[in-house]
Structure 1
């Protein structure tokens, strides 16, 4: 077992030899899961199919602007704490698993979408549906319209297997511990059009305005990060996407918290490379994970023991 607590690192080649294509996700498990936590990085995928790049009007560097660069590595220490870590293989520019399965923009396709497609969501209107139309603020991805069958194939082969695996991890965790906590890990650009870089927080914690997890979990994250000197915001501008909303059911013992990290803390955004702040941030995120685990440990005690401890 390495210093991350996982038996092995991500495989260098994500191909499944039995299917002759890339798997849609990878999961690193510790030798033994001894905490009710699952960490997930749905936007750090970096496998760009050549056919996708050929169909794009963007170069490889530009199309990566929406990627949560190395977020899976930033949270790579959670294995030492006894928690599994899941990540996407394909990038969000190709297919976004943090959306409803069929949030699709009819303007992107040469033929008609099925009637069950959600064509009116705000995310679709903004060009950021399940099959995104743009990266960054406004840069269009495709040279020409797609066939609907192409979108359906991506959803079938990537989206549904991803969520089946994530649901399975959470169910397994809930059955083992009586509860499960999903930490959904993301990064955000340090600059947005029309927004001063100085006004961008270091972290944004999204709990769907208090509906996706117990408030003590969010408060523990705020207190830890502020103590490290970070500027922290809650729910604005990111309250949590589909994953946070869909899996967060605190009344059923399933808590979901989204964490957005300002990319300026750890990377050169133009060069797409980590800088000298990467290791310090990674260490602080391990401390954050430990603080959240300790917080949930208090609430994992049977009620009688908890009352005695208080």
Structure 2
């Protein structure tokens, strides 16, 4: 039986693609049956990111959202599962949660054939659509902007010390976008009330690194949000509109800054 609907996609009109790979909660039977009690709440999900960025629809952004949980397969890791960070991280098929707790009960990990299906029927379709969309944007606008949208709990000792900054931008140490776009991000950050860092603990995952090709007029930025600014970090992970409002305003300003940068002659 084929795995269905690995993503949802809404076509847009502006030269910006919003990629949301980790908001999905769909599970395959093999993964659902094998999850440990700690993993069953899907706490490592990028909760509510589509809702947080809902304003982008009215602006005309292209929106690509993964539907399967990262517990099935991680769309922001390379297909060969090579590690992206030298510090603690998770792989293409996560075996541990961010805090180091096992994802699966002993002996209940999906087998290699099952996981190969996930690669073929979830990972590859998402990435084909992502590249097709970027190609279409470039054909229409002569350049493309990719914003890869993520979030994470603000405190995870296994991954980083202390509390994560509110806004964590990654540009693969400046390689995934033009230098002038990096300068635009820095100026945006200086104008915000939120704490921020560029290329700190999160420099950009596979999507940012693979599709950020400024020489080909494809510019990619990852933004990892500290979840404390818009939701409860405890189960059931409720969205908190009274907190989210200010963050949404900042995200709207970010998209505006990216589009303004794109319209400048160069």
Q: Scaled by the length of structure 1, what TM-score is found? A: 0.78
Based on CA coordinates, which of the two structures has the bigger radius of gyration? 1
Where structure 2 has 5 or more consecutive residues not aligned to the other structure, the ranges are none
Aligned length: 260
Which residue in the other structure is 1:307 paired with?
none
Cα RMSD between the aligned structures? 2.1
Instruction: Measure, in 1, the Cα distance between the counterparts of 2:99 and 2:140.
Output: 42
Where structure 1 has 5 or more consecutive residues not aligned to the other structure, the ranges are 1-18, 104-117, 304-310
Instruction: Measure, in 2, the Cα distance between the counterparts of 1:81 and 1:257.
Output: 18
Which residue in the other structure is 2:251 paired with?
285
The DSSP-based 3-state class of the residue aligned with 1:141 is coil
Which residue in the other structure is 1:79 paired with?
57
Q: Structure 1 residues 172, 216: CA separation in 2 closer, same or farther (over 3 Å shift)?
A: same
Instruction: Measure, in 2, the Cα distance between the counterparts of 1:46 and 1:228.
Output: 31
Which residue in the other structure is 1:53 paired with?
32
2:16 aligns with one of 37, 46, 57: 37
1:269 aligns with one of 233, 241, 245: 233
Over residues 208-263 of structure 1, what are the superposed CA-to-partner deviations in whole Å (9 max), with x where a residue is unaligned?
Answer: 11110012223223322331211110111010011111011101111101111111
**Within 5 Å, which residues of 2 pair with 1:193-272?**
193=157, 195-197=161-163, 200-271=164-235, 272=237
User: Do residues 136 (structure 1) and 118 (structure 2) align?
Assistant: no
Which residue in the other structure is 1:26 paired with?
8
Aligned-residue offset at 1:36: 1.4
1:175 aligns with one of 127, 139, 146: 139
Contact 1:98–1:243 (Cα < 8 Å) also in 2: yes
Contact 1:248–1:255 (Cα < 8 Å) also in 2: yes
The DSSP-based 3-state class of the residue aligned with 1:267 is coil
The DSSP-based 3-state class of the residue aligned with 1:277 is helix
The DSSP-based 3-state class of the residue aligned with 1:138 is coil
1:190 aligns with one of 154, 163, 171: 154
Which residue in the other structure is 1:5 paired with?
none
Aligned-residue offset at 1:21: 4.7
1:149 aligns with one of 89, 102, 113: 113
Instruction: Measure, in 2, the Cα distance between the counterparts of 1:93 and 1:124.
Output: 21
The DSSP-based 3-state class of the residue aligned with 2:194 is coil
Q: Which moved more, 1:76-85 or 1:178-187?
A: 76-85
Aligned-residue offset at 1:125: 8.9
Instruction: Measure, in 2, the Cα distance between the counterparts of 1:245 and 1:288.
Output: 20
Aligned-residue offset at 1:124: 10
Which residue in the other structure is 1:6 paired with?
none
2:48 aligns with one of 36, 59, 70: 70
If asked which structure has higher relative contact order (CA below 8 Å, sep 6+), I would say 2
